[in-house]
Structure 1
Amino acid sequence: MESSMLTFVLLCVVWSNVAAIEVKIPEQVYEAVNGSDTTIPCKFETSVENPQSGVISWFRRDLNSSARNELILTYYYPDKIFDVAENVDAKGFSIDADLLNGKADLIIKNVEMEDNMIFECRVQIRGDIDGTNSNSATLVVLVAPSTPICEVQGNPKNGEDIKLTCVSNEASPPAEYKWQSLDAQNNPRDPEPKSTDNGGVLSLFGITTDTSGTYTCTSSNKVGSASCSLTLSVTP
């Protein structure tokens, strides 16, 4: 009796696992270079053999956890057509779907910084209402740093403390900054012992006429780099 009961329980577990839809997106994060085309894959398995009808929907939402989903498009089977939501650029999104083979890939054309969002794939198959019918992934749009702006903060007089600032207004992921300098004779030199170079801000303490020269800041990330320079003249 116990053996029969155990067999029955195991069969129930197997049936419950099979009779359920499961939607998967292979990775949690996808990256795309600004201006390129990219695809977010979505795969699914259903317990319904040769489904007669189904609906695939893609949504997006801001990275803010409290943001609400916004519909992008909806694909219908067996019609094999999709509609793009009214407030979405119809030329920017399409879908590569094959409902019988569990494929529902979202295609995004000419990605922009505004596409840094969470994208959700949702699949509904008639006759398969249990399981996990949606999954999501984050799209990170990569942008090379824009030409940084170099500025001097403070009075460049002998004995004063000043800061040299460097900022790229655009960069994804955020840019990293590094300052380098040449002396008045255009020879490379090591950073001054008391100086600090942090987040694009080069702090110089107790400057002297020897601090004068050309200072170059390089802004870089995994996509590219850019630089700016300024000439510092310390007055007595």
Structure 2
Amino acid sequence: MILIQKLWIFTVFLAVLSGVRAINVHISKENYEVLKGDSATLTCTFQSTITPQLAIISWSAVGTQPDDQEVLIVTHYYPMKRTDVKPAYADRVLMHADVLRGKAMLRLSSVTSADDKIYECRVLIPGDDEGKSAATTRLVVNEPVSKPVCGIQGTVRSGENINLTCHSEKGSPPPSYRWERWHESVGSKRRFMAHTTTQNGGVLSLYDISNDTSGLYYCMSWNKIRTSTCEVHLSVLLDDSPGSDVFGAVGGAVAGVAGAAAGAVAGVAGAAARAAAGAAAGAAGAASGAAAGVLVSIASVADKIILGDGNNN
């Protein structure tokens, strides 16, 4: 019994000693957040129980879905100081490793939504392969919401049910939505009563609409990065509303009067044009006749003078 206790104590001592001497890789941040298009720097540290003569440090990434495959990004070899970057990351990755100080840094530039993954830093040192040789962190890529697009589903007629839709194509984290209506009486936006409307995501459902439903509606789309809005002006048609036939008759009468007036104006204008043309022609004829008469008178006087002169001779 005493021998068994001694063996158990010795085993615990070896386990503790092994834990103290084992390598330990650590990443201080559980998540790194970065805006799409910016650069991200991931840093891992490690402690070894020996002075490394040889070390291999690598960074890899895997998607957040269960079936996603791990992809190797870059590997650094010590003491050769050689760094191999995979072609898919060749233009965007920089790795700096200081083995003696126990640091390894990965820098990703121009990050995209596809870079939103879990990243692993792994350190292999021959002779010190016990303990925790790898650590992981999550890179969260945030993207502002794009300007939402508002729309109407259904017939905008009294008594109908319709949906107002609102959707932002882009945004990470995914956008949240809220609909509001502008109230002229109070000069502000107000949210809706639950018994007349329902909201599900970016869809606002309006039931048994009427003329009172008409107005200006705003949709707000937002995430932690940005807020953006769009609007819809709703004008509800009154189906078989009283007075619609009267309004149609009055409109037709007004159109008929307008047409008759236009015809009369055109007739007067034509008559005036014809009168003006006749007057001009008469004036021209009178002028021509007067000129001819003058010429005849001049010719007659000339003849008399000539004849008179002949008699005198």
Name the TM-score, length of structure 1 as normaliser: 0.91
Residue in 2 aligned with 1:122? 122
8 Å Cα contact 2:32-2:138 kept in structure 1: yes
Distance of 1:154 and 1:175 partners within structure 2: 25
Gap runs ≥5 in structure 1: none
Residue in 2 aligned with 1:54? 55
Residues 25-174 of structure 1 aligned to structure 2 (within 5 Å): 25-48=27-50, 50-86=51-87, 88-174=88-174
Count of paired positions = 234
How far off its partner does 1:26 sit?
2.0
Distance of 2:126 and 2:13 partners within structure 1: 24
Amino acid at match of 1:58: W
Structure with the bigger RCO (C-alpha within 8 Å, sep 6+) is: 1
Amino acid at match of 1:83: D
Distance of 2:206 and 2:41 partners within structure 1: 47
Name the TM-score, length of structure 2 as normaliser: 0.69
Residue in 2 aligned with 1:195? 197
How far off its partner does 1:22 sit?
1.8
Q: Aligned with 1:207: secondary structure?
A: coil
Q: Aligned with 1:66: secondary structure?
A: coil
> Comparing both structures, which one devotes a greater share of its residues to strand?
1
Distance of 1:192 and 1:130 partners within structure 2: 62
Residue in 2 aligned with 1:24? 26
Q: Aligned with 1:42: secondary structure?
A: strand
8 Å Cα contact 2:23-2:49 kept in structure 1: yes
Gap runs ≥5 in structure 2: 239-313
How far off its partner does 1:15 sit?
2.1
How far off its partner does 1:53 sit?
1.2
How far off its partner does 1:9 sit?
3.9
8 Å Cα contact 2:33-2:142 kept in structure 1: yes
Q: Aligned with 2:100: secondary structure?
A: helix
Which structure has the bigger radius of gyration?
2
> Comparing both structures, which one devotes a greater share of its residues to helix?
2
Q: Aligned with 1:101: secondary structure?
A: coil
Residue in 1 aligned with 2:246? none
Aligned pair in 2 of structure 1 residues 186, 231: CA closer, same or farther (>3 Å)?
Answer: farther
8 Å Cα contact 2:209-2:236 kept in structure 1: yes
Q: Give the aligned CA root-mean-square deviation in angstroms.
A: 2.1
